[in-house]
Amino acid sequence: MYTYVPHSIFLAIPGESTWWGSITEMIMYFFIIVSLGYLVYCVLEKKLPWTFVLPFVVHAIFNLAFTPARYGLNNEYVVSVVLLLACATLYWGLSLLWNHAAEYRWLVYVNFLYILLVIMMTALHFSMLLLG
């Protein structure tokens, strides 16, 4: 026997974002990749010291650690530490650019939406953690 499954069950899959959210994320990540790619280029051309890229490399490691911590370990406290470290390294890298490389401040402006996204994700996670 066949079981009837309404088609509306396939319209709201948990974890899937809306089409406009996907487009916004694609545009945002495009600007992030271009801006950080330019930063790596400047370091390779010796216009900036390698210490300017270090926070973003560490941030990328924490970004990659988020998914296994969230969905693999399923430990919300480990996820909290990863999110706090991701916020800290992003702040470290962008404040380094803002304070010590004034001609590269446009990279901070380009990554502004990403900063807001990371802050909102962290705030949302901690509010869910505290509320139970």
Residue 14 counted as domain residue: no
Residue 74: per-residue pLDDT: 83
Q: Kindly state whether residue 115 falls inside one of the protein's structural domains.
A: yes
pLDDT of 1 above 70: no
Residue 4 lies in a domain: no
* pLDDT digit string, tens, across residues 2-43: 444 444 444 444 555 565 667 877 888 899 899 999 999 999
- Full DSSP string of 26-53: HHHHHHHHHHHHHHHHHHHTTSS-GGGT
pLDDT at 9 (0 to 100): 44
The count of domains in the chain is 1
pLDDT at position 93 over 90: yes
- pLDDT for position 20: 61
User: Is 45 within a domain?
Assistant: yes
DSSP 3-state percent helix, strand, coil across the chain (nearest 5) = 80, 0, 20
- Tell me if 9 is assigned to some domain: no
Is 57 within 8 Å of 126 (Cβ atoms)? Answer: no
Are 55 and 86 in contact, with CB atoms under 8 Å apart?
A: no
How far apart are alpha carbons 119 and 112 in whole angstroms?
Answer: 11
Tell me whether residue 46 is in a domain: yes
| Distance, CA of 80 to CA of 125 (rounded, Å) | 7
Domain span at residue 126 reads: 21-131
Say what the pTM is.
0.75
Going by pLDDT thresholds of 50, 70 and 90, the confidence category of residue 84 is very high
Task: Assess if residue 2 is contained within a domain.
Answer: no
Domain contains 1? no
